[in-house]
Structure 1
């Protein structure tokens, strides 16, 4: 994580993100993301960063497409959050914290665009988010929200992996969740040093975090917990 302390503040334009910064700064390379995944991301990443409002969407878990759309929905939420923080970080943030949120916005955009590219015409629409419960001027509020998103993200991937039947999708999901787990660990240490692997907050949602295993939650529990941040109505079928 040394680069988080050394990197200067970066531009938040799409050109900077995908023509230069994503390749140079994002630590997906440290998480073992394959060249194939990176290539697919790069091919589809020059997008409008402002989400289009949709009136509702359905996640059908009868096959892999439903699982991928579920992951796509969560990555949309995370990308929107990190873009907002990176564009105007709290004044109390250290330079390392500012650099972290700059870096991670690129990761989440890359994840979002990866799923959008893979899904093609089968992709759900863009979600409308609701961050009214987050005080983006307060460092503690931002870090708490980041912890919530990352912990839920890790538990979501762990809980839905069993539903994937295509090996390539399962491998990609594993590569992405390993990055999300690194995010979760870093954020937790910012809040309370040494708590990087503590996911006890998810036990109230039914997650088992004992025995050295990371948390896993089913989609219905994850989406219920995330619903306060999503305005778009999400229906779940064939779960």
Structure 2
């Protein structure tokens, strides 16, 4: 099969539109459609590698980073699929904001996973196999258990993208990863607001800037004010807690 390489689509995501504030529902629909458009351009390329292995090595270079992202998106997509099949979700009122948030997040994570599944082989890479999750530690009938797990998955995804961007050499891949991580950050904020309103900026996810004193000059203080990042090895150690034997990840070639 002849694959077309990824090409930027300025019509799909105009820069000015990305700068405008959006309502939650409009934002979620917009970002879903934008990534889906790119995914459709790669449709029909299904080259999954399902060979069993003790650990799944994501590889190195740009393809390694994309497989690393694909692994995490697989895990998140599987998590939200389990959420939608659990008693907590089934007990939510139809049309409730909480149910709509979970519906949207489940759709987004599947779109992200499908995107990488098509994009990697379409750009000459070898795709890692389908991973098998292990969510035995999560009680899908409990709101608290589900939302705390969702928060942890979304925070991990943001920190993973933030930490892996430095390893990408293709500027287009870096741009696409930047767009996806912005969606993941909004996911994290939504989940945190469901747990406790207005807690989306927390010290565990943002290196909060603290002035040295009340009379400090601008810029004098500790902390960067930026979102925190994690190295691939740190992320894999956490993600592997939710993957079965034979699906646990190795990212030693990335850093």
- In which range does the TM-score fall when normalised by the shorter chain? 0.7 to 0.9
Deviations 1:133-153 (A, max 9, x none): 000000000000000000000
CA distance in 2, matches of 1:77, 1:106: 13
Aligned residues: 207
CA distance in 1, matches of 2:203, 2:177: 20
Compare the two structures and name the one with the higher helix fraction. Answer: 1
Deviation at 1:44, TM superposition (A): 5.9
CA distance in 1, matches of 2:40, 2:86: 25
Are the counterparts in 2 of residues 151 and 199 from structure 1 also a CA contact under 8 Å? no
Deviation at 1:104, TM superposition (A): 1.0
Are the counterparts in 1 of residues 164 and 231 from structure 2 also a CA contact under 8 Å? yes
CA distance in 1, matches of 2:249, 2:105: 26
In the other structure, the counterpart of 1:9 is: none
CA RMSD of aligned residues (A): 2.8
- TM-score, normalised by the number of residues in structure 2: 0.72
Runs of 5+ consecutive residues of structure 1 not aligned to the other structure? 5-24
Q: Is 1:211–2:212 an aligned residue pair?
A: no
Are the counterparts in 2 of residues 76 and 127 from structure 1 also a CA contact under 8 Å? yes
CA distance in 1, matches of 2:23, 2:106: 18
Are the counterparts in 1 of residues 42 and 119 from structure 2 also a CA contact under 8 Å? no
In the other structure, the counterpart of 2:59 is: 60
Q: Is 1:73–2:86 an aligned residue pair?
A: no
Q: Is 1:163–2:167 an aligned residue pair?
A: yes
CA distance in 1, matches of 2:145, 2:33: 34
Deviation at 1:103, TM superposition (A): 1.1
CA distance in 2, matches of 1:193, 1:104: 18
3-state secondary structure, aligned to 1:141: helix
1:1-239 map, 5 Å:
27=28, 29=30, 31=31, 35=34, 37-42=35-40, 54-55=52-53, 56-61=55-60, 63-88=61-86, 90=88, 93=92, 95-120=96-121, 122-200=126-204, 208=207, 210-231=223-244, 232-238=247-253, 239=255
CA distance in 1, matches of 2:189, 2:170: 29
- TM-score, normalised by the number of residues in structure 1: 0.77
